[in-house]
Amino acid sequence: MDRDKILLTPGPLTTTLRTKLAMLKDWGSWDADFNAVTASLRQRLLAIIHGHDSHVLVPLQGSGTFSVEAAVATLVPRDGHVLVLDNGAYCKRAARLTTLMGRRCTVLSFDEAAQVDPAALAQALATDASITHVVLIHCETGAGVLNPLQAVADVCERHGRGLIVDAMSSFGAIEIDARKTRFDALIAASGKCLEGVPGMGFVFIRKAVLEACAGRSQSLAMDLHDQYVYMGKTTQWRFTPPTHVVVALHEALKQYEEEGGQPQRLARYTSNYRTLIAGMARLGFKPFLDPAIQAPIIVTFHAPADPKYDFKTFYAAARARGFLLYPGKLTQLETFRVGCIGAIGPFEMEQAVHAMALALQDMGIAASAVT
């Protein structure tokens, strides 16, 4: 197969040729031309959430988790208390890194097949006045749940607590409007719904809380306040930036705007999702989640009940036909996941379903025997 394999994962994603070509030039990290790209990138990202008046944008090297860790360490005081709303694997990761950052952490657990409950959050905040910040994973891609950001933000605002949102897998596709939704920090990354390449995260920090963040982080490299101040003074990154990742994301953002921004990106992903669900239903696969709480980002499917099924074999057969799937992240059930995001459309999703049908044939599993 001549083309690159299509990545049906929650990131890295399939990217366009334009985005790939943007990485063929070398850039000086302190050069004026590169600094102009960084400045443009920051403004374009702020525009997506209508956040120019309320927030600043701080980029950071590394995977998205680097930026989640940086946000917790920068925004939460050393004596702060974080409540993590947990309905999946990435929530648990947020709780673990919060503890490793030396901040007190409490976990409010929910079923991984359900959204987090704003009413339960309100009760927890009313009960424990020591909680200073709440962490929400907007789209928990462990199962694919879309959590109720606006309702959670309203509860936090009503109780006067800070909200840190991990929007890694939703930003750019699901609407987030800083004029309507109050959050102290919102975190995303280059290699997700913006369809850049991995290697850079970024954090929107509310201007009203920014000054108080000075000196809170115990990390030099991951101090977002210091990064923001330095960029303001010099227009440069403090330490060597991922130059090729930055220019690739800048090019991807141009294409994002040309496509029509968030509404059109969501429309394409929703079309991908519907095509996938319909195709997999023909093969007998059942999605794990109720459609009412399913984000059109990544879908968890129950594994076939047939004893001949083995994920590694299934994966290899789909891979041989040009499609990379994702293993399940659930603890109690055997599942696998199929992403709907990236520079792909319904045609590629139909091809992916066909590849999985052929993979079942290779394994001697009839479609009717999947469930």
Q: Kindly state whether residues 56 and 79 are assigned to the same domain.
A: yes
Is pLDDT at 2 greater than 60 in this prediction? no
CATH of the domain at 232: 3.40.640.10
> How high is the pLDDT of residue 330?
83
pLDDT of residue 371: 61
Asked if 244 and 306 sit in the same domain, the reply is: no
pLDDT in tens, 150-188: 999 999 999 999 999 999 999 999 999 999 999 999 999
244 with 275, same domain: the answer is: no
26 lies in the same domain as 155: yes
Instruction: Count, in order, helices (H) and strands (E) of the chain.
Output: 12, 14
What tens digit of pLDDT does each residue of 326-366 get?
999 887 789 999 999 999 999 999 999 999 999 999 999 98
Q: In this predicted model, what pLDDT tens digit does every residue of 221-273 receive, in sequence order? A: 999 999 999 999 999 999 999 999 999 999 999 999 999 999 999 999 999 99
Contact between residue 4 and residue 183 where contact means Cβ atoms under 8 Å apart: no
Q: Across all residues in the chain, what is the average pLDDT?
A: 96
Cβ contact 215:73 at 8 Å = no
Kindly state whether residues 280 and 146 are assigned to the same domain: no
- The DSSP-derived string for 184-214 is SEEEEETTSTT---SSEEEEEEEHHHHGGGT
Share of the chain above pLDDT 70, in %: 98
**1 falls within a domain:** no
pLDDT for 66 beyond 80: yes
Domain boundary among 225, 258, 291: 258
**How does DSSP classify residue 202?**
E
Task: Check whether residue 160 and residue 273 sit in a common domain.
Answer: no
Give the CATH number of the domain where residue 267 resides: 3.90.1150.10
- Residues 273, 332, single domain; the answer is yes
**Residue 235 token pair:** 């227009």
- Whole-number Å distance between alpha carbons of 182 and 185: 9
Number of domains in the chain: 2
Mean pLDDT of 61-81: 98
pLDDT of residue 3: 73
129 pLDDT exceeds 50?
A: yes
pLDDT score at 369: 60
Phi-psi region of 57 (alpha: psi -120 to 50; beta: other; left: phi over 0): beta
Q: Tell me what pLDDT residue 333 has.
A: 87
Q: Kindly state whether residues 220 and 299 are assigned to the same domain.
A: no
Tell whether the model's pLDDT for residue 368 goes beyond 70. Answer: no
Please write the tens of the pLDDT for every residue from 80-116.
999 999 999 999 999 999 999 999 999 999 999 999 9
Q: Both 50 and 193 in a single domain?
A: yes
- Burial class of residue 251, CB neighbours in 10 A (0-12, 13-18, 19+): buried
pLDDT digits (tens, 9 = 90+) for 284-339: 999 999 999 999 999 999 999 999 999 999 999 999 999 999 999 887 789 999 99
Expressed as residue numbers, the domain containing 233 is 18-258
